[in-house]
Chains A and B, each alone.
Chain A
């Protein structure tokens, strides 16, 4: 069924289609409509779930850990300051291997206070051991929430998943969205069967402490789990594509095969880059785009395959490096190019902070600039390769 609907409401409807059994969440702009609508449908009896109202995001995720440990399919949602307030609990959810799904409406972090979109929140939570998927539009949000449960609950994975959707740019827009039927979703996503769950009749210990003799092995085991989730993620995306007719991949490209210069970006900004690419086509400029739908686990060999023959790679970051050499996404790409010996010129642009609009024209300007930027800092023996430090687009000076 296709209908015009606000993406936040659609995200809650997706959680309903996934038959979530427990929700604990705290409202924060721009995620508020997601939890409000979930609260409505639980109160109206449309969704048979426990809805725990809490006093903070720290408590929200803590309650989710409890319900998930008890074996319930658990959903939550947050944004920005809320995600950072959850921070210490994020590591506990992944360390305990609990398949919680969380929609994150990406937003800038204070200070200065901003409720608008960028990726500072998620980039500060990128190494928490959660699987991280990024959505480009409302349809992807609905599909990704449903399939995130399938990935998370697979016994070969058993890890929490964050579904990232850009605050306002996605959360507050009304889009035509195709909803799968309940029967189709039920067939795709059977009831959650926990490997371990808390029950008085079957006592066990979760969350015991580890001495120095054991902590390294415990973290190593967890790291292997997220690395080994990659084939399962691919399998689930392919199964979803087959059943529902919308094709999903961990990485997607637009005009990238034919171009030696590509943008690499995550989230809704990809739609603007595609518009820019179409405009450039008419100006006889060839540019491509590599979209990262999956950020954790980082799909390095698959990405290297797409980037290996490129001359210029322009990495779009949506967060300040905070004193680092470059943006967080760029650092990954830079490490990847080194590992796979990709001799491309690497450029890092930080764009769209705190809700600043980034227009297709901005990407055309970036493309033009890249073509003429002075070659500096070439590592010894790799004369053709340049890696500049990042540049922030649109700063008035």
Chain B
């Protein structure tokens, strides 16, 4: 996306709203819907990666030290990671932005 959606005039849209630039959905940040965010307790985390596997939005990534965290630009706070985490290392907390 070359500019924010609300700045496009109708004449600037491609025929059929085709998007020629691939992977541009990354630029559209959807994390703003969130009310809760996941927080990892690394003392309990065993780096199994189930949170990463179950995240429906592919918003969880592995840090260099092997522990996991969420990309808050895309995490919607659904809590599936916390629900699936069997060592109970993830807690959903109020996201105060």
Q: Which residues of A contact B (CB under 8 A)?
A: 95-98, 158, 195-196, 203-206, 208, 210-211, 213-214, 217-218, 220-221, 224-225
Q: Is the CB of A208 within 8 A of B19?
A: yes
Q: Which of A97, A196, A214 contacts B5 (CB 8 A)?
A: A214
Name the interface size band of chain B.
10 to 19
Q: Does residue B2 face the partner (Cβ distance < 8 Å to A)?
A: no
In the bound complex, residues from chain A placing their C-beta under 8 Å from that of B16 are: 95-98, 158, 196, 206
Contacts A206-B16, A213-B4, A217-B8 aside, 8 further interface pairs with beta carbons under 8 A come to A196-B14, A196-B15, A196-B16, A204-B20, A206-B18, A213-B6, A214-B5, A221-B17
In the bound complex, residues from chain A placing their C-beta under 8 Å from that of B17 are: 95-96, 208, 210, 218, 221
List 5 A-B pairs, Cβ < 8 Å. Answer: A96-B16, A205-B19, A214-B5, A214-B6, A214-B13
In the bound complex, residues from chain B placing their C-beta under 8 Å from that of A206 are: 16, 18
Q: Mark B10-31, 1 if CB is under 8 A from A, else 0.
A: 1101111111101011000000
Q: Does residue B63 face the partner (Cβ distance < 8 Å to A)?
A: no
Can you name the residue of chain B whose Cβ is closest to the Cβ of A198? B18
Can you name the residue of chain B whose Cβ is closest to the Cβ of A224? B10
B window 40-82: CB within 8 A of A:
none
Q: Does residue B9 face the partner (Cβ distance < 8 Å to A)?
A: yes
The majority secondary structure among interface residues of chain A is: loop
Can you name the residue of chain A whose Cβ is closest to the Cβ of B28? A211
Q: Number of contacts between A and B (CB, 8 Å)?
A: 52
In the bound complex, residues from chain A placing their C-beta under 8 Å from that of B24 are: 205
Q: How far is the CB of B28 from chain A (nearest CB, A)?
A: 8
Q: Which of B8, B14, B15, B18 contacts A214 (CB 8 A)?
A: B8
Q: Which of B9, B15, B22, B25 contacts A97 (CB 8 A)?
A: B15
Q: Is the CB of B15 within 8 A of A195?
A: yes
Q: Is the CB of A217 within 8 A of B9?
A: yes
In the bound complex, residues from chain B placing their C-beta under 8 Å from that of A214 are: 5-6, 8, 13
Q: How far is the CB of A204 from chain B (nearest CB, A)?
A: 5
Q: For the complex, what is the distance from the CA of A284 to the CA of B9, rounded to whole Å?
A: 58
Q: For the complex, what is the distance from the CA of A211 to the CA of B4, rounded to whole Å?
A: 11
Q: For the complex, what is the distance from the CA of A220 to the CA of B5, rounded to whole Å?
A: 15
The 9 closest A-B pairs by CB, nearest first: A97-B16, A205-B19, A217-B10, A213-B6, A213-B5, A221-B10, A96-B16, A220-B10, A203-B22
Central interface residue in B6, B15, B16, by most chain A CB within 10 Å:
B16
Central interface residue in A158, A214, A217, by most chain B CB within 10 Å:
A217
Can you name the residue of chain A whose Cβ is closest to the Cβ of B13? A221
Can you name the residue of chain B whose Cβ is closest to the Cβ of A211? B5
Q: Is the CB of B19 within 8 A of A204?
A: yes
In the bound complex, residues from chain B placing their C-beta under 8 Å from that of A213 are: 4-6
Q: For the complex, what is the distance from the CA of A108 to the CA of B79, rounded to whole Å?
A: 51
Q: For the complex, what is the distance from the CA of A76 to the CA of B69, rounded to whole Å?
A: 50
Q: For the complex, what is the distance from the CA of A195 to the CA of B22, rounded to whole Å?
A: 17
Q: How far is the CB of B48 from chain A (nearest CB, A)?
A: 34
